[in-house]
Amino acid sequence: MDKKYIKMWNNCLANRTERMKGSAIRELLKLTQMPGVISFAGGWPAPELFPVREFEEAARYWLPREGDKMLQYSVTEGLPPLKDFLVDYMKRYNVPAEPENILLTNGSQQALDLIGKVFLNEGDKIIVSEPTYLGALQAWNSYGPQYVTVKMDEKGMVVEQVEKLLKKDKIKFIYVLPNFHNPAGTTLPLERRKKLTDLVKKYDTFIVEDDPYGELRYEGEDLAPIISLLKEKVIYLSTFSKTLSPGIRLGWITAPASVMEKFVQAKQAVDLHTGTLVQYLAWDLCHRGILRAHVKELREVYKRRRDVMLESMEKYFPKGVKWTKPEGGLFLWVIVPKGIDMKKLLDKAVKLKVAYVPGAEFHANGGGENTFRLNFSNAKEDKIVEGIKRLGKLLKEAIG
Amino acid sequence: MDKKYIKMWNNCLANRTERMKGSAIRELLKLTQMPGVISFAGGWPAPELFPVREFEEAARYWLPREGDKMLQYSVTEGLPPLKDFLVDYMKRYNVPAEPENILLTNGSQQALDLIGKVFLNEGDKIIVSEPTYLGALQAWNSYGPQYVTVKMDEKGMVVEQVEKLLKKDKIKFIYVLPNFHNPAGTTLPLERRKKLTDLVKKYDTFIVEDDPYGELRYEGEDLAPIISLLKEKVIYLSTFSKTLSPGIRLGWITAPASVMEKFVQAKQAVDLHTGTLVQYLAWDLCHRGILRAHVKELREVYKRRRDVMLESMEKYFPKGVKWTKPEGGLFLWVIVPKGIDMKKLLDKAVKLKVAYVPGAEFHANGGGENTFRLNFSNAKEDKIVEGIKRLGKLLKEAIG
């Protein structure tokens, strides 16, 4: 294309595009397509476990019966029977909700974007943990907030720091991943959850509780979701991406009815409604009990993969490397000695045919060069052993 | 909920939410669910014509073979074989594109939102026709642009007015619905398309060409899409919503490669990617030739429905009422004598069990009270006759 046109398009871009950047993860996912690469980079479920047959049964049964509705436009809020199911389902995890508190979205990522759209003015301050979920930063960057970061320890967000920040500044909301944190793998204890809600009660702020992996617990007891402790000031997000399938793009927001109207208006403006067909199929798998049985299977398989990864790390990682031991979820977090830059090492890793996500990506305000994230749900056990062996080699060379 | 919480949530809303409103169409669609109401309000396809069997065949064939990919995450840009198909398919309509020019979206509505996200700063000026598509206004309102309106005549946008506006003001882009305009039903002649591109060449601005109905032509010859006349400065949108199914939420953007990167970044931030499963199913129907055969059937059925509606209007509508005679698409536009407010009459219409969309909704800067939009694709012929009869009664009483 002629340079004058390229210039014209660049001149036409909105200011917010300066804050929008491509994801390193996205480029990495391309690398993982290369033959022979063992990837611990993405947050991908194990494809061999997808309930493929059950989706096919659902399509075969329902399309001839309800095809005229499944292929038609539907309401912005989401398919009513699916919302009814979610109300019951979330009750088991003590998430309080009625159908009018639920909006179906294109995965949790869209829920994060809608939160930005409904709440964020440029310059608004958000409290996030350090590290925090990269996708949330990507969703919100275009709205131009300032991130105020809170340290994490082995129990998750250090809640004591939050109070200082709330006293000092007007904070729009606090972003919390209480269960099996992405990327850190930590789980916030009940006392910290309670402390957080006590704090939020005192200030004009609220909590965004992001819970994509809550069901994938491999040991210990379920803890009360934060929304169960203070439903008036918590927006709760979850998804089918890690349980049924990410390719159907189906998540949901649970929020107080008084803000739901704005979410629905925002959702209508961005894409009218979430796909009717995929909502029908997901509902079928839910109400037939497939979801519950499938989650049980995932727990068993992913627990073994986590254990194999932890054992392999013990065996192959050099001294001076530390990591979290997550009770559930998909990720664990590795800290190497200061001075080693895991982003710079990634090239070498790919040459050794293994991939991870450098930890700096998860830091809203810089830092974290000596950290990285590993996913243990996607690769099979033998691949995990081999991949960790390769990573061990890389780390030994780097640490010297 | 306690009033103090309601107040807190209201205080937390972003400024842009003041510009976001619910759609009158959305409330109307609820009315149309009432038994016995004949609705000409929505833009809904005929549900009895959906290729239900073919979708079921696609699911039954491909899920057992490719289920591990169909249910997994996929690339932001869209499913490669579907993009390849679209390149070939659009060539038949003279839309020039390579795979790298295409991004799959959740229907055209998301394409409109992404255009807002990538290009619009608050206060930017956009040229739109009067009337124009309500969904575009809804998508863009949250970005706070100013709408500069151009009159329409029976041939569509009056292009002579555009030059004056371009001379006077910096215009970010011109929004054009060249084929079977929603809501006006008009088709922009080739001379006006050429004139528009001549104008755009001279100024730092571009065209957004929205073409959801181009394939649904019932008479006359296909006209060159605007993008075929000036591909360097046109972003072209289309969708499967009016051909295969709106419930799969599948549309696409065609844009110069130099802006595609920003669209992909924006899409990744808002929902990672469009659903993998629905892209596979749509691709199957496309490459098996179902899309082409189905469009042929739609043309025949919708042509008859249009003709029946036009004949019924001749018969039942009183003197002083005028309307467009669209060569394709889903809508026609009715103008009643000044002083009659079709929004106020809607209550009475629903009591007579018939529904339409008041034309004022399609006016970016007010006006159009004496107009309304009728859809002719959704209701069967006998219902169209009966519905128009009811509307005729309403209009006769109003005109007196």
Give B202-212 pLDDT, tens digit per residue. Answer: 999 999 999 99
Which residues of A are less than 8 Å from B256 in CB distance? 1, 5, 9
Do A252 and A283 share a structural domain? yes
What's the rounded Cα separation, in Å, for the pair B41 and B27? 11
What's the rounded Cα separation, in Å, for the pair B26 and B357? 10
- Greatest distance between any 2 Cα atoms in chain B: 65
User: Is A156 within the bounds of a domain?
Assistant: yes
Q: What is the mean pLDDT of residues A331-339?
A: 97
Taking 60 as the threshold, does the pLDDT of residue A102 lie above it? Answer: yes
pLDDT band at residue A24 under the 50/70/90 scheme: low
Copy the structure tokens of residue B299. 């043309």
User: Is A166 within the bounds of a domain?
Assistant: yes
Distances (CA, A) of A29 to A25, A78, B76: 6, 31, 11
User: Is A66 within the bounds of a domain?
Assistant: no
Specify the pLDDT at position A25: 57
What's the rounded Cα separation, in Å, for the pair B82 and B80? 5
Do B130 and B12 share a structural domain? no
Q: Do A271 and B143 touch (CB under 8 A)?
A: no
Taking 80 as the threshold, does the pLDDT of residue B220 lie above it? Answer: yes
Condensed to tens digits (0 to 9), the pLDDT of residues B342-366 reads 999 998 999 999 999 999 999 999 9
Q: Do B117 and A16 touch (CB under 8 A)?
A: yes
Query: What is the residue type of B83?
Result: K
| Nearest-Cα residue of chain A relative to residue B69 | A47
Specify the pLDDT at position B35: 85
| Nearest-Cα residue of chain A relative to residue B53 | A64
Do B333 and B284 share a structural domain? no
pLDDT band at residue A1 under the 50/70/90 scheme: confident
Specify the pLDDT at position A2: 84
Q: How would you classify the pairing of strands B322-323 and B331-335?
A: antiparallel
pLDDT band at residue A330 under the 50/70/90 scheme: very high
pLDDT band at residue A259 under the 50/70/90 scheme: very high
- Residue for token pair 């809904």: B44
Specify the pLDDT at position A34: 80
Do B133 and B221 share a structural domain? yes
Q: Does residue A358 have a cis bond before it (omega within 30 degrees)?
A: no
Which residues of B are less than 8 Å from A101 in CB distance? none
Do A249 and A177 share a structural domain? yes
Copy the structure tokens of residue B289. 């030739």
Do A231 and A131 share a structural domain? yes
Q: Do A143 and B74 touch (CB under 8 A)?
A: no
Q: Do A55 and B71 touch (CB under 8 A)?
A: yes
In DSSP terms, A236 is beta-bridged to A209, A254
Taking 70 as the threshold, does the pLDDT of residue B187 lie above it? Answer: yes
Condensed to tens digits (0 to 9), the pLDDT of residues A104-130 reads 999 999 999 999 999 999 999 999 999
Q: Do A204 and B275 touch (CB under 8 A)?
A: no
Specify the pLDDT at position B2: 84
The enclosing domain of A182 has a CATH number of 3.40.640.10
The enclosing domain of A18 has a CATH number of 3.90.1150.10
What's the rounded Cα separation, in Å, for the pair B133 and A299? 48
Specify the pLDDT at position B29: 57
Which residues of B are less than 8 Å from A135 in CB distance? 272
| Nearest-Cα residue of chain B relative to residue A15 | B121
Specify the pLDDT at position B25: 57
Query: What is the residue type of A235?
Result: I
User: Is B353 within the bounds of a domain?
Assistant: yes
Specify the pLDDT at position A93: 87
Q: Do A117 and B275 touch (CB under 8 A)?
A: no
What's the rounded Cα separation, in Å, for the pair B23 and A261? 12
Tell me which residue of A224, A229, A227 sits closest to A252, measured CA to CA: A227
Taking 90 as the threshold, does the pLDDT of residue B173 lie above it? Answer: yes
Report the domain count for chain B: 2
Copy the structure tokens of residue A90. 């979330």
Min distance A273 CA to chain B CA atoms (Å): 8
Summary mean pLDDT of chain A = 95
Specify the pLDDT at position B21: 79
Taking 90 as the threshold, does the pLDDT of residue A31 lie above it? Answer: no
pLDDT > 70: what percent of chain A? 97
pLDDT band at residue B93 under the 50/70/90 scheme: confident
Q: Where are the beta strands (DSSP E) in A117-241?
A: 125-130, 146-153, 156-157, 173-176, 206-210, 234-239
What's the rounded Cα separation, in Å, for the pair B88 and A189? 56
Summary mean pLDDT of chain B = 95
Do B175 and B79 share a structural domain? yes
User: Is B368 within the bounds of a domain?
Assistant: yes
Condensed to tens digits (0 to 9), the pLDDT of residues A269-321 reads 999 999 999 999 999 999 999 999 999 999 999 999 999 999 999 999 999 99
Taking 80 as the threshold, does the pLDDT of residue B335 lie above it? Answer: yes
Min distance B92 CA to chain A CA atoms (Å): 23
Residues in chain A: 400
Which residues of B are less than 8 Å from A16 in CB distance? 117, 121
Min distance B319 CA to chain A CA atoms (Å): 36
Q: Is B158 exposed, middle or buried (0-12, 13-18, 19+ CB in 10 A)?
A: middle
Among the partner-chain residues B26, B248, B271, the one whose CB lies closest to the CB of A109 is B271
User: Is B28 within the bounds of a domain?
Assistant: yes
Residue B217 is classified by DSSP as: B
- Greatest distance between any 2 Cα atoms in chain A: 65
Q: What phi and psi values does residue B126 have, to the nearest 5 degrees?
A: -120, 135
Do B207 and B84 share a structural domain? yes
Specify the pLDDT at position A204: 92
Domain boundary among A221, A254, A288: A288
Copy the structure tokens of residue B219. 């008479």
Specify the pLDDT at position B109: 98
Distances (CA, A) of A12 to A16, A50, B6, B115, B118: 12, 43, 39, 11, 9
**Contact criterion met (CB below 8 Å) for B246 and B278:** no
Q: Is A13 exposed, middle or buried (0-12, 13-18, 19+ CB in 10 A)?
A: middle
Specify the pLDDT at position A29: 57
- Residue for token pair 């996929």: B74
Min distance B8 CA to chain A CA atoms (Å): 6
Q: What is the mean pLDDT of residues B361-378?
A: 96
The DSSP annotation for A207-235 comes to EEEE-SSTT-B-SS-----HHHH-GGGEE
| Nearest-Cα residue of chain A relative to residue B249 | A275
Q: b/e per residue, A157-183, with b = 16+ CB within 10 A?
A: bebebbeebbeeeebbbbbbbbbbbbb
Query: What is the residue type of A312?
Result: S
Which residues of B are less than 8 Å from A244 in CB distance? 71
Among the partner-chain residues B139, B173, B275, the one whose CB lies closest to the CB of A249 is B275
CB atoms within 10 A of CB A27: 10
Among the partner-chain residues A2, A10, A265, the one whose CB lies closest to the CB of B232 is A2
Among the partner-chain residues B105, B172, B246, the one whose CB lies closest to the CB of A12 is B172
Q: What phi and psi values does residue A233 have, to the nearest 5 degrees?
A: -130, 25
Q: What is the mean pLDDT of residues B306-321?
A: 98
Which residues of B are less than 8 Å from A120 in CB distance? 14
Do A18 and A84 share a structural domain? no
Specify the pLDDT at position A32: 67
Copy the structure tokens of residue A107. 């995965």
Instruction: Quote the domain boundaries for residue B367.
Output: 3-50+292-399
Q: What is the mean pLDDT of residues B77-86?
A: 98
Sheet holding B322-323, edge to edge: B322-323, B331-335, B371-375, B357-358
Do A344 and A252 share a structural domain? no
Tell me which residue of A216, A197, A370, A187 sits closest to A305, measured CA to CA: A216
User: Is A369 within the bounds of a domain?
Assistant: yes
CA B232: distance to chain centroid?
23
Q: Chains A and B: how many Cβ contacts under 8 Å? A: 294
Do A106 and A118 share a structural domain? yes
Q: What phi and psi values does residue B71 have, to the nearest 5 degrees?
A: -100, 0
SS3 A308: helix
Which residues of B are less than 8 Å from A261 in CB distance? 22
Q: Is A18 exposed, middle or buried (0-12, 13-18, 19+ CB in 10 A)?
A: exposed
User: Is B21 within the bounds of a domain?
Assistant: yes
Copy the structure tokens of residue A393. 């080699």
Domain boundary among B265, B289, B313: B289
Copy the structure tokens of residue A359. 């930890």
Specify the pLDDT at position B28: 62
Residue B222 is classified by DSSP as: P
pLDDT > 90: what percent of chain A? 93
What's the rounded Cα separation, in Å, for the pair B127 and A306? 56
Which residues of B are less than 8 Å from A143 in CB distance? 14
Do B25 and B166 share a structural domain? no
Domain boundary among B267, B289, B311: B289
